[in-house]
Amino acid sequence: MSSDLLIAIIITLIGASTPILIAALGELVVEKSGVLNLGVEGMMLIGAVIAFAVTYHTGNHWLAILAAALAATGASMIFAFLTLTLSANQVATGLALTIFGTGFSALFGQAYTGRPIAIFDSVFPDELEQHPFWRVIFDHSPLVFFSLFMVVAIWWFLKKTRAGLILRAVGENDLSAHSIGYSVIGVRYAAVAFGGAMAGIAGSCFPLLLTPQWAERLTAGRGWIALALVVFAAWKPFRLLAGAYLFGLVMAIELYTKASGSTGILPSEFWAALPYLATIVVLVLISLRRSQNSAAPACLGKPFLPTQ
């Protein structure tokens, strides 16, 4: 394997991993607060179509990312109101949010099908972007560096700050946190809003970073991989980074295998399904390791009922 091909695979790997990592980081914070939001895929699709539309009409990538984050946050607030204020079932409501996001993106995106936009490329000088070696570091969109920054920021927030301690306390024992004066519902609303914003930004990666042309279901199930990745990483940000890049490697292998035409004895459909097969294998392995169950927040998915 030539060095140019290796660098190209690394760059593809990082790009493919970025939306999964961003979405999973947001969901990690949500689940640390004790809320299970299965609507990640739907919020990513909402963010993707809004980012595409804003970029198509304005050409401003930063504005598109902001609009995607706000739109997905708005969708997450619907979920939050139903589950936190009205105590609706979190699993059913999350699935409904995914269905809503899928339908909304398909309807809203009809006018943009097949229309191209400019990709959100690197902001570094061309000398660094095109350098035979340094481009492996600098030939990336700002969204890639944002994802890496958020890994460190979320780790620091959860481990080193008082607000992070409160959020973890709410996720581990909501009644105790409530009894000493913390607003469990308020903390969970903030966590769900943050998770929604991150899912929207993750969705914006698809038209701005990976596929600068709108197509229905553009995220291709990556939101479900992000959900599985949170469990795979045992709710730890740095493990999340490693897991996202592992899945990115699987996707990069699929792309380069199909591009080279050397699928071997296996059909091309197998390589397309490989990331999702890897997700299933990971979940099965985790289910066999019962010790991992202790890593989950104790109140995950449970409604807060202070009167009982």
pLDDT tens-digit series, residues 162-203: 999 999 999 999 999 999 999 999 999 999 999 999 999 999
Average pLDDT over residues 82-100: 95
pLDDT given at position 213: 87
Q: Examine the pLDDT at 8 and tell me if it is beyond 80.
A: no
Tell me the residue type at 213. Answer: Q
Cβ atoms of residues 226 and 20 within 8 Å: yes
pLDDT given at position 15: 87
pLDDT given at position 260: 63
Secondary structure (3-state) at 37: coil
Here the tokens at position 300 are 């995950």
Average pLDDT over residues 231-237: 89
The per-residue pLDDT of the chain, averaged, comes to: 87
Q: Examine the pLDDT at 50 and tell me if it is beyond 60.
A: yes
| 178, containing H or E segment | helix 174-179
pLDDT given at position 70: 98
Residues near 151 by Cβ (< 8 Å), separated by ≥ 6?
21, 25, 237, 238, 240, 241
Q: Examine the pLDDT at 263 and tell me if it is beyond 60.
A: no
Cβ atoms of residues 58 and 64 within 8 Å: yes
Quote the CA–CA distance of 200 and 208 in Å, as a whole number: 12
Q: Give the angle subtended at the CA of 71 by the CAs of 219 and 77, to the nearest 5°.
A: 105
Q: How does residue 66 score in pLDDT terms, banded at 50, 70 and 90?
A: very high
pLDDT given at position 156: 97
Average pLDDT over residues 13-19: 90
Other C-beta atoms lying within 10 Å of the C-beta of residue 271 = 19
pLDDT given at position 193: 98
pLDDT tens-digit series, residues 143-159: 999 999 999 999 999 99
| 22, containing H or E segment | helix 3-32
Here the tokens at position 19 are 């939306």
| Adjacent-strand bridge partners of 113 | 214
Give the percent of the chain with pLDDT over 90: 58
Here the tokens at position 80 are 């939050």
pLDDT tens-digit series, residues 268-282: 667 677 777 777 776
CATH fold, domain 3-295, is ABC transporter involved in vitamin B12 uptake, BtuC (1.10.3470)
Residue 180 DSSP class: T
For residue 113, which phi and psi values (nearest 5 degrees)?
A: -60, 125
Q: How does residue 17 score in pLDDT terms, banded at 50, 70 and 90?
A: very high
Candidates 231, 166, 200, 160; CA nearest to 49 is: 200
Cβ atoms of residues 122 and 139 within 8 Å: yes
pLDDT given at position 247: 83
Secondary structure (3-state) at 277: helix
All structural domains of the chain with their residue ranges: 3-295
